[in-house]
Structure 1
Amino acid sequence: MNRDVMDTFSWANENREEFWRLITKVLKIQFKERNENDNVIDISKGMESSIYYPKAKMNICDTLLQGSDDRCAIVYMRESEMRANEKQPPIHRISMRELRATVNRIAYALTHKLKSVVQVGSAVAIDMPMTWESVAIYLGIIKAGMMVVSIADSFASEAIEVRLRMADTKLIFTQDVIVHTAKDIPLYTRVLRANPPLCVVLPGKSASGEHQKEPALCVKLRDGDMSWSEFLRDTDETKAEAVYVSSMSRANLLYSSGTTGEPKGIPWHHSTFVKCLSDGYLHQDIRQGDTVAWPTNVGWMMGPWLISQLGLGATIALFVGSPVSIDFCRFVELCKVDHLGIIPSMVKSWMHTNATSHCDWSCIRRFSSTGEASNPTLYHWVMSQAHYSPVMEYVGGTEIAGGYLSGTMLQPQLLSSFSCPCFGLNVILLDMEDCQPIQGIGIGNEKSGDYFNVQDRSIVEGECVVIGPSIGLSVELLNRNHTDVYYTGMDQIQTGAGKITLRRHGDQLRVLPNGYYQHLGRVDDTMNLGGIKVSSVGLENVVMRHPLLSKEIAAVAYRQQDVDAEKLVICAVPKDTEATFSRIFEKRPLGLQIAPAKNVGVSRVIVSKVEDPNIANEQKLRLSVLYAINGKIVWNKPFKAVVDVLASASLPIRIQFVANQFDVDKIKKELQVLVTQGLNPLFHVHDLFVVQELPRTASGKIMRRILRNDYSVSQL
């Protein structure tokens, strides 16, 4: 590790107040009212009730929209336009002056035109792709002193409705359709099925409005809803003023997975964005004039994070289309992207289709990876496409507003590893068995105790917990008790700032002998599917609707190796649809010859002599784990009893297989439809694992761990 970086981190770790005071000055965070002598972080009411910039009045848009009028704020390209103009595809640029003007018009319309619908503090949703308009809408809502409700454009109507209701949403911005090269995907009609409030609808096919003054919508609007052009009509950008609020006023409501099925509503305050800027500046090395591309959406944390980088003087690059296409790779070259956000599944698609073969990616100075478990083989390949520019790993969460582990450009970067915790906070590991801090894990000033000792050590694994205080750490949840979720039952440790209560996070980490970290997944009942965190319970509640499955259902995340992306496996006990299969054995069979049929979950086996018509003295063997996986019969040790009977019994004998007979492949497809319609079409059902019963354990977490292990064995 670079000693200078570690020495600086140690100072920042021991002097949180001074660190955040310095970073506030370096980042030029703007305030309407603030006494510079006031503390940056007030923990007088406890770590769980931290106040960032107490007594300050601000609107974060003042910080994010800084810069000269003529600097490029947003550059974007459309996949549909690239296909139509392959030789000279249009590159659209939005100056800071244009962005500020549109933000002001949106803020004016909200505070004047729709003042009977929304007021300061109202919840206003966005459910649309990551276009330049969605960026302007996001900033316009915040500038008007209202709260953005972030909803991903991939969510099904039911999931949209839950989020709108939880936030008491008064207004929603959406699009008529999502334009794809194959076909247009209706979005407005999906939103309507969610029983939304007033909708402002933008045109998807020409959302920039450059080809027509008033682009036509592809749908007929519901009575009372309005088009984008109608919303902006008669708005005056010069009369819009930022609404200044407390630094702890809500600016954005994002949703993360919840262990009870309902998503957690995590408010971001105006002060929260300082964490995004700090991580971009110190860890991602985003500089003034850089062009940053990160395929995402305002419905996910990285959408607001990307928008925040405007405050560092960066240009954000948006691609309206599929990020796994050849056109996206051309977009990176044509827009001269300096910083590219990636996930392994995206890189895998590029590699398999040779999408970068005719692209010059010498413009890329570094990659950043978050959202999925990274894969060193894939990332070595993607580095080779950009003259071996490094991949900066980045892991955190919505409730942190950024990362807790990353790296710096001043340290050697090891593929699929993190070189240091993020500045402004720290982490330690808890033993997975007794939940006690593992000594010698963590980085900081050795005076604080053994938790921060970085001596040579063997590989250690444990549960990650966060050591605050830090700007960005959430202090409230919309629909849960924040203290219970993150702090109740956690120990305290002694630091330079006094006794600090550890903060629960739920990730499992490995620490290598050189002090670098590796991410091993979750230790709780959530999983990461395609970069999206979702609760097991939420998935189970949707899958449980299948008529042939009982209520005994468990959704587990499966990875064959640590570097693989998590896959969704549904473990289920079928309803009683028993059928009996009989075979008479005159010779002693071997192994798989005993299997009765494909795709059959055998619940029990009855062995009897053939000459006994009443099946007297039968031997009943209950098989707790006997599955059919993709047509391959897999069994555990109880099956050995059947083999033993065949080896010792006087032949001939009859074996009856009593089974739940149903088509696993067909049901798996039907489960995919349920997940697509009830949650998100991006959640792919990898497999259906038929079990006789779910393990009886002290917690759902332990039960799913056992099932995950059983499934892993079945795949050998």
Structure 2
Amino acid sequence: MLIGNDVGIQLREQDLSWREFLSSANHHPRSNNYIPVYQPVESVINILFSSGTTGEPKAIPWTQLSPIRSAADAWAHNDVQVGDVFCWPTNLGWVMGPCVLFLCFLCGATLALYHGSPLGHGFGKFVQDAGVTILGTVPSIVKAWKSTECIKGLDWTRIKSFGSTGEASNIDDDLWLSSKSYYNPIIELCGGTELASAYIQGCPLQPRAFGTFSTASMATGFVILDENGIPYRDQACVGEVGLFPLYMGASERLLNADHDEVYFKGMPMYKGMHLRRHGDIIKRTVGGYFIVQSRADDTMNIGGIKTSSIEIERVCDRADECILETAAISVAPVDGGPEQLAIFVVLKKGSSIEPDKLKILFSRTIQSNLNPLFKVNYVKIVSEFPRTASNKLLRRVLRDQMKHELSTRSKI
């Protein structure tokens, strides 16, 4: 990133600073006539980064199929059509940013853009005044609206449906949100940057239950795998999802990793198909609904945005001189809802600091360096971290410890 005239990192031979990039443009006057340029369907139109299933950031090229897939999902599952006013708090660095742009253009809806935080009264009034008919949300944002009462007194009754993604939804929060618009539906969706879409969604034509998904998205297939990689039949179960490999709009290559190794290596065959890895743990309920429970690795959904433990730990390690190392995990609240961020800390020998002070330091550091919406919910100081024989950190053990501690607190 260019800060003034100073590039904060050592550029590689093939890199340009932002200023050099802009100065290299050929500033010819534009013609009044638009002339399309025809390209193959696999032509790259933009590149997005995702933590994905391995916990390491991946550079994912989107092709001309990606916008078509985004629009198809919106049309089939959210009933986006000409005359709708569509609004979804997001940014272009997250998968929903380009998805929202493309789906509005291709479905003929009006895109409502708000400059500022979606957490206050100003955004709620904008939704009212713009006549938004489809409002996208992230569960953390809904929780903030409910707790601060910032939309009290506003008229959201023009909203015909809500969308929700990024985290596990809280049923009570969903009921509260739906009540703001005559109890209209909340369509859940869960996907990935590498899919340019959601692989599992709700649907206006099917019965719905708050916080659940009702079906695989249009033209998508998946199975739920047990711990041995064997697909469950249509029964109540919990396991890792395996996607069918034919998936319109999904990535076929990565710019900084081996695509086959990331998404296919080690995945089982199913009816002659080599299943694609996504990394979600899914529960199929007795009633046939689906609940996405967690990730199969250390990638976390914090504030509706996928991030890796490593990214958070890198900034937290530098938050104070007394810190030796940190470990970041996410845990779901005992009563359900979005994942919450917990930081385990090992202090340097002879150092002392209160967990509450660290909590403030970590939140400020993460918000400044990663995302202003991220929040640290718990900080726990420990003497050492559990590790494997090869010295790999066992975040799974820390996660289980925190779950047990939260469960014990809730019973007191």
Mark yes or no: TM-score above 0.5.
yes
Q: How many Å separate the matches in 2 of 1:282 and 1:549? A: 50
1:366 aligns to what? Answer: 161
1:690 aligns to what? Answer: 381
1:276 aligns to what? Answer: 70
Q: How many Å separate the matches in 1 of 2:92 and 2:370? A: 17
1:549 aligns to what? Answer: 323
1:284-433 equivalences under 5 Å are 284-309=78-103, 310-431=105-226, 433=227
Q: How many Å separate the matches in 2 of 1:388 and 1:244? A: 45
1:15 aligns to what? Answer: none
**Could you say if the C-alpha distance between residues 567 and 225 of structure 1 is closer, same or farther in structure 2, counting changes exceeding 3 Å?**
farther
**Could you say if the C-alpha distance between residues 261 and 506 of structure 1 is closer, same or farther in structure 2, counting changes exceeding 3 Å?**
closer
1:480-559 equivalences under 5 Å are 480-494=257-271, 499-545=272-318, 546-551=320-325, 553-559=326-332
One-letter code aligned to 2:292: H
**CA offsets 1:451-502 (integer angstroms, 9 cap, x no match):** xxx4xx4x311111211201111111111111111111111111xxxx1111
CA contact (8 A) 1:425 1:468 kept: no
Q: Which of these residues, 33, 58, 67, is aligned with residue 264 of structure 1?
A: 58
CA contact (8 A) 2:238 2:284 kept: yes
2:230 aligns to what? Answer: 437
CA contact (8 A) 1:543 1:675 kept: yes
Residue 273 of structure 1 deviates from its aligned partner by 1.4
Residue 234 of structure 1 deviates from its aligned partner by 7.1
TM-score (norm 1): 0.52
2:18 aligns to what? Answer: 196
Unaligned runs of 5+ in 1: 1-124, 128-155, 171-194, 201-223, 441-453, 578-659
**Could you say if the C-alpha distance between residues 423 and 562 of structure 1 is closer, same or farther in structure 2, counting changes exceeding 3 Å?**
farther
CA contact (8 A) 1:287 1:313 kept: yes
TM-score (norm 2): 0.89
Residue 394 of structure 1 aligns to a residue in which SS? strand
Q: How many Å separate the matches in 1 of 2:333 and 2:367? A: 24
More displaced 10-residue stretch of structure 1: 366-375 or 557-566? 557-566
Q: How many Å separate the matches in 1 of 2:12 and 2:198? A: 26
1:528-677 equivalences under 5 Å are 528-545=301-318, 546-551=320-325, 553-561=326-334, 563-577=336-350, 661-677=352-368
Q: How many Å separate the matches in 2 of 1:260 and 1:554? A: 17
**Could you say if the C-alpha distance between residues 353 and 667 of structure 1 is closer, same or farther in structure 2, counting changes exceeding 3 Å?**
closer
Residue 562 of structure 1 deviates from its aligned partner by 6.4
CA contact (8 A) 2:58 2:257 kept: yes
Residue 393 of structure 1 aligns to a residue in which SS? strand
Q: How many Å separate the matches in 1 of 2:207 and 2:91? A: 31
Residue 271 of structure 1 deviates from its aligned partner by 1.6
**CA offsets 1:82-128 (integer angstroms, 9 cap, x no match):** xxxxxxxxxxxxxxxxxxxxxxxxxxxxxxxxxxxxxxxxxxx9x9x
**CA offsets 1:653-689 (integer angstroms, 9 cap, x no match):** xxxxxxx633333333333343334433332222221
**Could you say if the C-alpha distance between residues 266 and 167 of structure 1 is closer, same or farther in structure 2, counting changes exceeding 3 Å?**
farther
Residue 236 of structure 2 is aligned to residue 462 of structure 1? no
One-letter code aligned to 2:348: K
Residue 503 of structure 1 deviates from its aligned partner by 0.8
Residue 245 of structure 1 deviates from its aligned partner by 1.7
One-letter code aligned to 1:406: Q
One-letter code aligned to 1:535: S
2:43 aligns to what? Answer: 249
Q: CA RMSD in A?
A: 3.0
One-letter code aligned to 1:532: I
Q: Indicate the percent of aligned positions where both proteins have the same amino acid.
A: 36
Q: How many Å separate the matches in 2 of 1:437 and 1:699? A: 29
One-letter code aligned to 1:549: I
**Could you say if the C-alpha distance between residues 397 and 470 of structure 1 is closer, same or farther in structure 2, counting changes exceeding 3 Å?**
same
Q: How many Å separate the matches in 2 of 1:438 and 1:287? A: 37
Q: How many Å separate the matches in 1 of 2:164 and 2:119? A: 15
Q: How many Å separate the matches in 2 of 1:691 and 1:259? A: 28
Residue 474 of structure 1 aligns to a residue in which SS? coil
Unaligned runs of 5+ in 2: none
**Could you say if the C-alpha distance between residues 575 and 356 of structure 1 is closer, same or farther in structure 2, counting changes exceeding 3 Å?**
closer
Residue 260 of structure 1 deviates from its aligned partner by 7.2
**Could you say if the C-alpha distance between residues 555 and 492 of structure 1 is closer, same or farther in structure 2, counting changes exceeding 3 Å?**
same
Residue 18 of structure 2 aligns to a residue in which SS? coil
